[in-house]
A and B are shown apart, each in its own frame.
Chain A
Amino acid sequence: MGFQFDISFFVYEIGIAIQYIPVVLLLSIVPLMVGLLLGTGIAIIRLFKVRALAQLFTIVVVFLRGVPLLLQLTILYLTVTLSFDSLAQTLDLNMTSKDISYTLIAVIGLSINATVYLSEVIRAALQSVNSGQYEAAYSIGMTSLQMLKRIVIPQALPVAIPLIGSNLIGLIKGSAIASLISVVEIINGTLFEANGNYKFLEAYLAAAIIYWALCILVERIVAFLETRVGVYGKGGVV
């Protein structure tokens, strides 16, 4: 049997994959937002060396960055599903582990992952702002919060945006790992269609095309945003 590629099934699978784009966006945009919010908090705590919390988050970040996303998601999934039944029983809930949304578990897992990475991105961006800017802000009587809002964050943003874009691309591709904990997203959606006819190459390729298109789109958006922030920098790097 020679190599056969079923173009019409491939096109059909692309259509299927497109239907699952909202799931991928849910699995990447929500973690991005959560990650930006919590990551900024962690970055600021570490930047200002807030006692106890700074050390705690340093350890958490180091620990979570050292474990593959695949293991983070599966460990979270197994912990939740295995402990849920007994927990539901003690709390007298009329639910079993079958009732938990796997998508929710994936979103939580990806959010934790995004928070860890984005906290480092934001910390780096905040530290890229020259210490003279911090001192000048303090010298005119600003509080730390005013300084962050008016001086530091506006200057850190042009540094952070390309890195945040890279992280979003990482999240979009990372969301594929959710397929391992039974979330029906692009990969599981297209594979399901191929189960009957074994045309897996067409299925995988269709999924790949959609991921690729999504990532190109993100890259274009980031490039556009980059031109919009940091206009003041046009005169030079310093």
Chain B
Amino acid sequence: MIVVKGLCKSFGKQEVLKGIDLTVEKGEVVVLLGPSGSGKTTFLRCLNFLERPDAGEITIGDTHVDCKSVTKNEILQIRRNTAMVFQLYNLFKNKTALENVMEGLVTPRKIPKIEAEEISRKILKKVGLGAKHDAYPSQLSGGQQQRVGIARALALNPEVILFDEPTSALDPELVGEVLAVMKKVAKEGLTMIVVTHEISFARDIASKVIFIDGGVIVEQGTAEEVLFHPKEERTRQFLKRILPASDYSI
């Protein structure tokens, strides 16, 4: 379970997050929507301290931290309870697909190599890349790289996987393969927080949709509620811009 209370973050004078409260139950798939600059990616990055929040409390699994007095060790703990899938994949360029997946097991968690390799091979197979173990990232397509990225996150068996616009950098024809893997993962009961513009993914998979604008949560609820019966005017305006007209009637 993840509990966030009063999360604030500023870059200089620019206040990006103005007190975000959020509870995510185990196994939930939460989709964060919002216009660019609304703070959704910053919020995601605050959850594993890639950005240092200015204030607020974060509980992930059995680790609870107060962002004002967080220690290096607590940050490491939080990071070892989470995993992240990046917009630009960020696979380790000097490592093969298999080594990329193994790395998080072998180095930070000190799992024996043989065991780590076995786990990693299984997971690569699950994301449909059983034949690409020895390929370096530069030899893989964007879709394949992102699937390795998801495999790298899955291998850690984290409390939650944070997805930061995982399909935004992909060619349209490669988006499908990545979304398919994400759906598969969601159905296995993993907790996921996803920043995306893929409304179809939100509609089909999300157990909760959250609309963020101007650094605050404007509206949250089920996909049905937020996407198709939004209460707030700002949500409606946003959806009007990104939803194709035909999608209004299900």
* Residue positions of A touching B, CB distance < 8 A: 130, 132-133, 135-143, 146, 150-151, 154-155, 232-236, 238
Chain A contacts of B80 at CB under 8 A?
141
Chain B contacts of A151 at CB under 8 A?
92, 94
| B71 CB, nearest partner CB in chain A, Å | 13
| A186 CB, nearest partner CB in chain B, Å | 40
Query: Given A150-B103, A233-B138, A235-B138, A140–B90 Cβ distance below 8 Å?
Result: no
Query: Given A138-B50, A139-B82, A232–B104 Cβ distance below 8 Å?
Result: no
CA separation between A233 and B90, bound complex, in Å? 15
Interface status of B93 (Cβ within 8 A of chain A): yes
Q: Which of B90, B107, B138 contacts A150 (CB 8 A)?
A: B107
Q: Is B94 within 8 A of A139, CB to CB?
A: no
Q: Is B94 within 8 A of A235, CB to CB?
A: no
Of the candidates B50, B93, B104, B109, the one having the most CB atoms from chain A within 10 angstroms of its own CB is: B93
Q: Is B91 within 8 A of A234, CB to CB?
A: no
User: At the interface, is chain A mostly helix, strand, loop or mixed?
Assistant: helix
- Residue of A whose beta carbon sits closest to that of B149: A136
Q: Which of B79, B94, B95 contacts A141 (CB 8 A)?
A: B79
Q: Is B138 within 8 A of A234, CB to CB?
A: yes
Q: Is A140 within 8 A of B156, CB to CB?
A: yes
**Number of residues from B at the complex interface, CB < 8 A:** 28
| B77 CB, nearest partner CB in chain A, Å | 9
Chain B contacts of A154 at CB under 8 A?
94
| B249 CB, nearest partner CB in chain A, Å | 40
Query: Which 10 interchain pairs have the tightest Cβ spacing?
Result: A235-B138, A140-B104, A132-B90, A141-B108, A141-B80, A136-B90, A139-B84, A232-B136, A235-B139, A154-B94
CA separation between A137 and B103, bound complex, in Å? 9
A selection of 7 A-B contacts at a CB cut-off of 8 Å is A130-B90, A136-B92, A139-B48, A140-B156, A141-B109, A234-B138, A238-B138
Chain A contacts of B83 at CB under 8 A?
139-140
Interface status of B243 (Cβ within 8 A of chain A): no
| B86 CB, nearest partner CB in chain A, Å | 6
